[in-house]
Structure 1
């Protein structure tokens, strides 16, 4: 039975390597997938999913005006018409940057096309506010799973993302600032508020 999945975690929790692994597993079994990523994340070029361990591949970038349901429905119809069978899964990286209409379109893919949709992304931003995509996935997803990683400072479970600028914590600014290990640390609650203290 098709479901809408949301797998979330702090920075460096392995979300990107996981989506690439899932994509590989489907394709190794000769199953067709659609691989999408946010058009907002341009660290490695728009439409590229790249993990910190050096694995990357191209994906379809999701723009604010894109209708994911229409795109997947057309792609599925083309595959069926060409004898390639139906799509087995839709995979979306950087799902925190989705808008509400994108999430509802993902739910429609599951409910009407009976194709599972797996999304991967952050839950909260550096100020601990939910991203629009994450908030709506928490509401509409059938299955929600946390991907765990450890605090940059103490090794406890990280649940927050601390923005860093020149080695110092940043607590104010725009919600979206694209960056990786040089800009964000995964941290526990204590070290989010007390990054210079030992616990």
Structure 2
């Protein structure tokens, strides 16, 4: 029975690696996954038409890019007519709009295709992304992928840092980057770093 899954965590927990392993497992069994990635995150794109999903440990796979206003139900339905899809795997799911999350629930409920979303729960300021907030509200299954703070506690927060490695207290919700711009911390060290104005 198809379900809507949300795998969430702070950064550097292995969400993308887990997604790519799932894609490999489906392909190994002769089933077709459809990988989707937001065009907004173009760190790994080689052309404007081709998106790539890439993990920190070197795994990668081509993906279909989507825009903030893409109708994901229509996109999946069209792809499913061409070739039977076993599942939909979505990287950086925090960048989905609320409407797109509801469209993905229609993929599950009307087309009977499992949808597995991987993304951040909150932004660098402790606020939920609209896509993540909606997934937390309506997904059938919520699964946390854990990572650790430098102190050994579970990291649940993401701190944005500037070019000097100092905490950023305000700014746009979305700023694409990797380890050069973000650090995963436990809540205690997240708050202390913001208060002290340096990584604690």
TM range (shorter): over 0.9
The alpha carbon displacement at 1:167 in A equals 1.1
Question: What is the alpha-carbon distance in structure 1 between the residues aligned to residue 190 and residue 143 of structure 2?
Answer: 22
Partner of 1:82: none
The alpha carbon displacement at 1:154 in A equals 0.9
After superposition, the C-alpha distances for 1:139-192 in whole angstroms (9 at most, x for unaligned) are 1100001100001x3121000001111111111111100000111000001110
Correspondence for 1:53 among 29, 35, 57? 57
Give aligned pairs, total. 191
Question: What is the alpha-carbon distance in structure 1 between the residues aligned to residue 8 and residue 110 of structure 2?
Answer: 25
Partner of 1:83: none
Correspondence for 2:140 among 139, 142, 162? 142
When normalised by structure 1's length, the TM-score is: 0.93
Question: What is the alpha-carbon distance in structure 1 between the residues aligned to residue 88 and residue 191 of structure 2?
Answer: 37
Gaps in structure 2 of 5+ consecutive residues: none
The alpha carbon displacement at 1:110 in A equals 0.3
Partner of 2:94: 96
Partner of 1:74: 78
When normalised by structure 2's length, the TM-score is: 0.92
> Which shifted more, 55-64 or 20-29?
55-64
The alpha carbon displacement at 1:65 in A equals 2.0
Gaps in structure 1 of 5+ consecutive residues: 80-85
Against the structure 1 CA distance between its residues 112 and 197, is the aligned structure 2 distance closer, same or farther, given a 3 Å change threshold? closer
Superposed CA RMSD? 1.2
